[in-house]
Amino acid sequence: MKRKLGYLFTNLMVLYFMISGLSVLFDISGKLQRIDLKAINSDG
| Residue 41, amino acid | N
39 pLDDT above the threshold of 80: no
Residue 37's pLDDT band, with cuts at 50, 70 and 90, is confident
**Residue of 40 and 10 predicted with greater confidence:** 10
44 pLDDT above the threshold of 60: no
Q: How far apart are CA 29 and CA 39, in angstroms?
A: 7
Residues 3-35: tens digit of each pLDDT: 999 999 999 999 999 988 887 778 777 777 778
List alpha helices for 1-44, DSSP H.
2-26, 28-34
2 pLDDT above the threshold of 80: yes
